[in-house]
């Protein structure tokens, strides 16, 4: 009752959903992840499930067929609109059914869903591990090559900031997560080279290979200077109360720099976005100081801090 093209369409729908799930899990290298045997297997499972659901739906519909004749004299069991509805309901229905949890059991510290989703979750977990293993060696070599000239201490704030500026659409939540992980890396006792590699892997997951490589190449000559800027930030912001400084220091810097009002509005927006990040006070002071120095210059920031240091210092 269902023409061949109907099975092709619904199969592609199921396969594309499986591929989309893999892409969302490996944003730094989606094509390579999908092209691995486990990735192909996972997409195929979704494809076959959608086709099977369509076949079952066609059989159930054929129990009460309503033949009709086309203008060309062909006799079909399904009108076009009925067929499209069947394709949509069986295709999406199969994908939804595969992800259904009938009940959730608590086993130790983990919640385990009982139902069709358990099978799909198991397959997805196996695909994840296999894809990770397949990509681990080239990924390690790639990040080692890209991050070769990078010092973690010199790049830990400058490189993420530059990468996110290139991307433009990285969410505040993602930036916050990166800042927290960088903060954790800073406090770990390990060689600078290892920290730099971990920083590269962290950024690779968000911005991808091309952006990270371009960012490192563009900043390679600037990392030493950036390190000196960070030292300047640390010195200027030492002992500053972030919550008070963020209210008073920015307008003063803008006034000293004679910044136009429209630019002040943009700066204030960025400051408020920074204020919303859930970071330690020390990290927030560093980010705030770095932002001010990038926006107004070190001389103006230093002059502004000296003018109101007593008012914005920690009591």
pTM of structure:
0.54
Q: Using CA atoms, how far apart are residues 155 and 223, in angstroms rounded to an integer?
A: 6
Tens digit of pLDDT for each residue in 209-242?
Answer: 888 998 888 887 766 666 566 666 666 677 778 7
Q: What average pLDDT does this structure show over 145-163?
A: 86
DSSP sequence for 128-192: HHHHHHHHHHHHHHHHHHHTTT--HHHHTTHHHHHHHHHH----HHHHHHHHHHHHHHHTS-S-H
Alpha helices in 63-103 (DSSP H): 80-98
Tens digit of pLDDT for each residue in 36-56?
Answer: 777 788 888 888 888 888 887
Where do the domains of the chain lie?
A: 4-117, 152-221, 231-312
Percent of the chain with pLDDT over 70: 78
What confidence score (pLDDT) does residue 111 get? 64
Strand locations in the chain, DSSP E?
Answer: 68-69, 75-76, 103-107, 110-114
Q: What band does 29 get if pLDDT is binned at 50, 70 and 90? A: low
Indicate whether 74 pLDDT > 50: no
Indicate whether 292 pLDDT > 60: yes
What confidence score (pLDDT) does residue 104 get? 64
Mean pLDDT of the chain: 78
Q: Using CA atoms, how far apart are residues 44 and 286, in angstroms rounded to an integer?
A: 49
DSSP state of 240: B
Segment among 3-17, 54-68, 201-215, 271-285 with least mean pLDDT = 54-68
What confidence score (pLDDT) does residue 234 get? 64
Sequence-ordered list of residues with C-beta below 8 angstroms from that of 312, at least 6 positions apart, any chain: 240, 241, 244, 245, 248, 249, 305
What confidence score (pLDDT) does residue 75 get? 43
Q: What band does 28 get if pLDDT is binned at 50, 70 and 90? A: low
Q: What average pLDDT does this structure show over 57-86?
A: 59
What confidence score (pLDDT) does residue 121 get? 77
Q: Using CA atoms, how far apart are residues 219 and 39, in angstroms rounded to an integer?
A: 35
Q: What band does 191 get if pLDDT is binned at 50, 70 and 90? A: very high
């Amino acid at each position: 009752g269902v023409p061949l093209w109907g099975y092709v369409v619904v199969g592609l729908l199921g396969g594309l959903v499986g591929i989309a799930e893999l892409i969302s899990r490996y944003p730094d290298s989606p094509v390579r992840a999908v092209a691995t045997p486990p990735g192909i297997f996972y997409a195929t499972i979704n494809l076959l499930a959608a086709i099977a659901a369509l076949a079952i739906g066609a059989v159930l519909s054929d129990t009460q067929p309503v033949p009709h004749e086309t203008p060309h004299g062909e006799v079909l069991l399904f009108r076009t609109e009925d067929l499209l509805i069947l394709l949509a309901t069986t295709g999406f229905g199969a994908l939804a059914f595969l992800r259904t949890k009938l009940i959730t059991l608590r086993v130790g510290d983990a919640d385990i869903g009982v139902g069709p989703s358990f099978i799909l979750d198991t397959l997805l977990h196996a695909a994840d591990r296999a894809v990770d293993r397949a990509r681990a060696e080239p990924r390690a070599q790639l990040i080692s090559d890209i991050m070769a000239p990078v010092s973690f201490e010199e790049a830990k704030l400058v490189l993420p900031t530059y990468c996110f500026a290139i991307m433009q659409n990285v969410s505040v939540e993602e930036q916050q997560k990166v800042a927290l992980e960088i903060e954790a890396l800073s406090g770990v006792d390990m060689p600078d080279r290892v920290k730099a590699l971990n920083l590269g892997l962290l950024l690779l997951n968000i911005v991808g290979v091309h952006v990270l490589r371009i960012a490192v190449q563009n900043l390679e000559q600037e990392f030493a200077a950036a390190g000196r800027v960070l030292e300047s930030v640390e010195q200027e912001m030492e002992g500053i109360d972030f919550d008070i400084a963020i209210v008073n220091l920015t307008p003063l810097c803008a006034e000293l720099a004679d910044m136009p009002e429209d630019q002040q509005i943009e700066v204030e927006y960025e400051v408020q976005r920074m204020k919303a990040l859930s970071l330690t006070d020390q990290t927030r002071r560093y980010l705030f100081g770095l932002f001010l120095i990038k926006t107004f210059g070190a001389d103006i920031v230093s002059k502004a801090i000296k003018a109101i240091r007593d008012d914005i210092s920690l009591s």
